[in-house]
Amino acid sequence: MSSEKVHVEHCKGVNGLDKVILREIRRCSAEVYLYGGQVTSWKNAHGEELLFVSSKASFRPPRAIRGGIPICFPQLKSTGSLEQYGFARNRIWSIDLDPPPSPSDISHKAFVDLILTHSEEDMKIWPHRYDCRLRVALGPTGDLMLTSRIRNTNTDGKSFTFRFAYQTYFFVTDISEVRVEGLETLDYLDNLKNGERFTEQEDAITFESEVDKVYLSTPTKIAILDHERKRTFELRKDGLPDAVVWNPWDKKAKSMADFGDNEYMHMLCVEAACVEEPITLKPGEEWKGRQEISAVPSSYCSEQLDPRRLLLSG
């Protein structure tokens, strides 16, 4: 039966935009729009949606899609002269038919490789030649893996510098019942206080108001515990030293045109990112970053493993 299963399907999505549906044998699935190279859905074997996409999200270029996993490149926030999160999330990506080999992913049949390269239009605002490649893959147990490779293809001998993030919007049942573990005792920059630097004093991050923090030099594993759903998201990352934690809360949510007034209660952004120290590539050099997320019953952590030991084990 597995040999007959359609693991990768190319079809049309909202407003006729091209998308790719990935399916694994256990009925886990993911959807990726070529617009933005953006994952907009990730479902487990029970068909439950694990990512948040706003009911008011615009699937109309050039506005970015609010939710899922936007790719932020080559800029984050106001760290440069470009739009807030760079241009990768509102460009049409192509399917990469000749991707570089990824030996670790050989066993995965449900994957797609996308590529974004410089355009003459983009070079007017960011004068560099590059290849930005993205592999989105579903593991056999439904884990969602994103691997990015960025290469400097400048022919003028110039290096370039960039920042990067997977701006992952997790769907949570009730934000007031969510805890993030693995970031305690770390330094962070508080974007609500002009980027001032602080040290996290709490045993876990909980939510009762707006949060917009950049945690620095973070571990490779972070856990997001959704107590209401008895579910834990495990985020594992490589090549992305920082982690952004964001929820707009009620006041900011009402000011966002593409975000429902009360939707802040059902989402949390935890972003594997490179924020504090930008990446510099010389011509011909390549950077690689990776994020893998899985969803497991919270009882798995609490009954069999101490969550902190789990986080520190990798």
What are the backbone angles phi and psi of residue 93, rounded to the nearest 5°? -90, 160
Which has the minimum average pLDDT: 180-184, 214-218, 269-273, 301-305? 301-305
Which has the minimum average pLDDT: 18-32, 61-75, 93-107, 173-187? 93-107
Q: Which parts are annotated binding residues for substrate?
A: 66, 84, 89
Q: pTM score, two decimals? A: 0.91
pLDDT higher than threshold 90 for residue 85: no
Given this model, what pLDDT does residue 314 score? 42
Q: Which parts are annotated binding residues?
A: 66, 84, 89
The string of pLDDT tens digits covering residues 54-84 is 999 999 999 999 999 999 999 987 666 667 7
Share of the chain above pLDDT 70, in %: 89
The string of pLDDT tens digits covering residues 194-240 is 999 999 999 999 999 999 999 999 999 999 999 999 999 999 999 99
Which of 301 and 102 is assigned the larger pLDDT? Answer: 102
Given this model, what pLDDT does residue 302 score? 42
Sheet of 8-12: strand order equals 8-12, 18-23, 29-33, 38-43
Q: Tell me what the mean pLDDT of segment 268-285 comes to.
A: 97
Spatial contact of 174 and 267, defined as CB atoms under 8 Å apart? no
pLDDT higher than threshold 70 for residue 94: yes
pLDDT higher than threshold 60 for residue 311: no
The string of pLDDT tens digits covering residues 131-168 is 999 999 999 889 999 999 999 999 999 999 999 999 99
Radius of gyration of the chain (CA): 19
The residue extents of the domains of the chain are 8-297
Given this model, what pLDDT does residue 308 score? 47
Fold of 8-297: Beta-galactosidase; Chain A, domain 5 (2.70.98)
